[in-house]
């Protein structure tokens, strides 16, 4: 794909800056450089150039680089101008470029879009680039770079080839069963053995998908509990700053206070909620309602209570929440006269003296790593789009396996085709010619 229009845009940060990089992509990129006064161009080499359009004053002394379409990231002729990063310089360059017929300012993401359409990047790589730009933590950066390098694409393309081979064997079994080569290579039992293995691989990736999505979007941790048990104090400890107001008066926190932090490379949003009790007025009632809603949507719930509470006192009803995502924390252990009063379940801490905080944080970080699979070396999906298409692929494969076991190879082949289309939507599309090529290559048909 080659666009008839040439686009340009500032590709570096906000001005003023030490350096401003302007990119030009399209068939007129080289001409634009020449009109700016850059004539002695060596592809892929930065050349110090006096930018002086004909009959105009010098705009800047800049480093200029040109990439032919075969070697550029956009798949088109591409030029870069490394300018001094002043508003006046960039404005003057843009004013000149806008005067050239056939050039226009780029739309948001258009350089990357052209890279995708010209086959320089795959769809997952484009998503990885977007994630990399938006990354806040080390682990997000690592996941994004692995997507950008094509690790996930290569895996799904490999699976796609497996599906093509399976379907090719089915098509051959249906259409060319009188050929000796085909009858020896393609048999129903062989196909039935291949499909469960691929289904199992997809199921493992679907399991990784939830963790990958959490890492990309960030985990949600909700602090809930009765009033005046130290929720605001704990969030201040986690953030290592005085973000929430701490008071001895119950009901100080009326609305949800949220803050972002980095827990060992995973982005986390912590929500300090209003104390949950029988509300005394409409404002407090709304605060309690929001607290419960926040807890329902959280990945981890920190249920905060006072270590001084009477063990017989009725606890909050947590039956609507999954027990696996609840961590019990007992604050104010420094006020206990008898340490034997500490509850066995959960963690005893003191936000005042920091007693027990290290052990609690160690466990919390372990839970974060478990939920985001930071220790898992295999890259998996990290978007709902990936998950949906993988689920469609798995469903189609399971139906294909059922029909294959019944001996209905034609129906099974159609489900295999659907599975391949669903998988192809993650990284690209599969042409019918790929299937025909595989048939002739694998079974010597047409000899």
* pLDDT value of residue 274: 59
Q: What's the pLDDT score for residue 248?
A: 41
pLDDT at 187: 61
Give yes or no: residues 95 and 176 share one domain.
no
Residue 135 lies in a domain: no
Q: Are residues 228 and 366 in the same domain?
A: yes
* Residue 143 located in a structural domain: no
Question: How confident is the model at residue 440, as a pLDDT?
Answer: 30
What is the percent of the chain with per-residue pLDDT over 70, rounded to a whole number?
80
Say whether both 221 and 314 belong to one domain: yes
Scored b (16 or more CB within 10 A) or e, 217-241 reads ebbbbbbbbbbbbbbbbbbbbbeee
Q: Between the CA of residue 191 and those of 22, 165, 392, what are the distances in Å?
A: 54, 10, 20
In a domain, 231, yes or no: yes
Are the C-beta atoms of 166 and 412 separated by less than 8 Å? Answer: no
Residue 296, pLDDT score: 84
Q: In this structure, are residues 43 and 66 in contact, taking their beta carbons and an 8 Å threshold?
A: yes
Domain count, the chain: 3
Q: What is the pLDDT of residue 246?
A: 38
Is residue 269 located within the same domain as residue 358? yes
Indicate whether 307 and 365 sit together in one domain: yes
Regarding whether 257 and 173 lie in a shared domain, the answer is no
From the centroid of its chain, how far is CA 218?
10
Query: Would you state the pLDDT for residue 438?
Result: 42
37 Rama class: left (phi>0) / alpha (psi -120 to 50) / beta:
left
Please report whether residue 41 resides in a domain.
yes
- Are both 343 and 388 inside the same structural domain? no
Q: Taking every pair of C-alpha atoms in the chain, what is the biggest distance, in angstroms? A: 91
The C-alpha angle 432, 436, 442, rounded to 5 degrees, equals 140
Q: Which of 348, 372, 396 is the last residue of a domain?
A: 372
- Secondary structure of the chain in the HEC alphabet? CCCCCEEEEECCCCCCCCEEEEEEECCCHHHHHHHCCCCCCCCCCCEEEEECCCCCCCCEEEEEEEECCCCCCCCCCEEEEEEECCHHHHHHHHHHHHCCCCEEECCCCHHHHHHHHCCCCCHHHHHHHHHHHHCCCHHHHHHHHHHHCCHHHHHHHHHHHHHHHHHHHHHHHHHCCCCHHHHHHCCHHHHHHHHHHHHHHHHHHHHHHHHHHHHHHCEEEEEECCCCCCHHHHHHHHHCCCCCCCCCCCCCCCCCEEEEEEECCEEEEEEECCCCCCCCCHHHHHHHHHHHHHHHCCCEEEEEEECCCCCCCCCCCCCCCCHHHEEEEEECHHHCCCHHHCCCCCEECCCCCCCCHHHHHHHHHHHHHHHHCCCCCCCCCCCHHHHHHHHHHHHHHHHHHHHHHCCCHHHHHHHHHHHHHHHHHHHCCCCHHHHHHHHHHHHCCCC
Domain membership of residue 124 (yes or no) is no
CATH (domain of 398) = 1.20.120.430
Tell whether 317 is covered by a domain.
yes
Asked, for residue 24, whether it belongs to a domain, the answer is yes
Q: Is residue 366 left, alpha or beta, with left meaning phi > 0 and alpha meaning psi from -120 to 50?
A: alpha
Q: Residue 157 falls within a domain, yes or no?
A: yes
Residues 342 and 434 both lie in one domain: no
Query: What pLDDT was estimated at residue 393?
Result: 96
Asked if 200 and 230 sit in the same domain, the reply is: no
Give the pLDDT score at 282.
55
Q: How many residues does the chain have?
A: 447
Q: Please report, for the domain that includes residue 65, its CATH number.
A: 3.30.1360.120
| Last residue of one domain, picked from the residues 329, 346, 372 | 372
Last residue of some domain: 323, 341, 372?
372
Cα 98 to Cα 441: distance, rounded to the nearest angstrom: 52
**Mean confidence (pLDDT) of the chain:** 81
Residues 258, 321, single domain; the answer is yes
The model carries a pTM of: 0.76
Same domain, 239 and 368: yes
pLDDT in tens, the chain (447 residues): 445 799 999 998 889 999 999 999 999 999 999 999 998 888 999 999 999 998 889 999 999 999 999 999 999 999 999 999 999 999 999 999 999 999 999 888 888 888 888 889 888 888 888 888 888 888 889 999 999 999 999 999 999 999 988 888 887 777 765 555 555 444 666 777 788 999 999 999 998 888 888 888 889 998 888 887 888 888 888 887 654 433 343 444 445 678 888 887 888 988 887 555 444 545 555 555 666 778 888 899 999 988 887 665 556 677 788 888 999 999 988 888 776 666 667 899 998 899 999 999 999 999 988 888 755 567 889 888 889 989 999 999 999 999 988 888 889 989 999 999 999 888 865 443 443 344 334 333 322
Helices 384-405 and 188-217, interaxial angle, to 10°?
A: 160
Do 427 and 313 sit in the same domain of this protein? no
Residue 12 lies in domain: 6-115
């Amino acid at each position: 794909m080659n666009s008839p229009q040439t686009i340009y845009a500032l590709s570096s940060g906000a001005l003023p800056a030490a350096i401003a990089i302007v990119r030009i992509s399209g068939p007129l990129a080289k001409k634009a450089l020449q009109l700016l006064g850059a004539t002695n161009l060596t592809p892929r080499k930065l050349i110090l150039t006096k930018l002086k359009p004909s009959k105009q004053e010098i705009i800047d002394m800049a480093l200029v680089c040109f990439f032919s379409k075969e070697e550029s990231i956009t798949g088109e002729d591409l030029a870069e101008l490394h300018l001094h990063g002043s508003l006046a310089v960039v404005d003057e360059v843009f004013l000149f470029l806008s005067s050239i017929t056939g050039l226009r300012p780029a739309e948001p993401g258009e350089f990357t879009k052209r890279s995708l359409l010209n086959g320089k990047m795959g769809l997952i790589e484009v998503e990885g680039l977007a994630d990399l730009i938006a990354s806040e933590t080390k682990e997000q950066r690592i996941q994004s770079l692995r997507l950008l390098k094509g690790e996930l694409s290569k895996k799904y393309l490999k699976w796609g080839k497996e599906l093509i081979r399976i379907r090719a064997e089915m098509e051959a079994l249906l259409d060319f069963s009188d050929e000796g080569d085909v009858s020896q290579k393609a048999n129903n039992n062989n196909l039935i053995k291949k499909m469960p293995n691929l289904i199992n691989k997809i199921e493992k990736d679907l399991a990784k998908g939830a963790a990958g999505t959490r890492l990309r979007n960030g985990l949600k941790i909700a602090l809930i509990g009765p009033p005046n048990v130290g929720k605001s104090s704990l969030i201040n400890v986690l953030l290592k700053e005085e973000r929430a107001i701490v008071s001895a008066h119950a009901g100080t926190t009326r609305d949800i206070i949220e803050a972002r932090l980095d827990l060992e490379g995973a982005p986390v949003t912590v929500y300090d909620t209003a104390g949950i009790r029988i509300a005394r007025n409409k404002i407090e009632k709304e605060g309690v309602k929001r607290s419960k809603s926040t807890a329902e949507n959280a990945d981890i719930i920190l249920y905060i209570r006072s270590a001084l509470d009477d063990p017989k006192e009725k606890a909050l009803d947590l039956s609507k929440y999954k027990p696996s995502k609840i961590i019990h924390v007992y604050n104010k252990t420094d006020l206990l006269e008898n340490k034997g009063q500490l509850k066995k379940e959960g963690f005893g801490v003191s936000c005042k003296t920091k007693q027990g905080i290290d052990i609690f944080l160690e466990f919390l970080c372990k839970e974060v790593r478990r939920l985001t699979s930071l220790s898992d070396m295999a890259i998996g999906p990290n978007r709902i789009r990936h998950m949906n298409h993988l689920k469609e692929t798995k469903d189609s494969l399971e139906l294909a396996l059922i029909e294959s076991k019944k001996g209905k190879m034609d129906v099974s082949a159609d489900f295999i085709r659907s599975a391949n289309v669903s998988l192809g939507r993650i990284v690209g599309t599969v042409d019918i010619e790929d299937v025909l090529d595989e048939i002739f290559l694998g079974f010597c048909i047409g000899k």
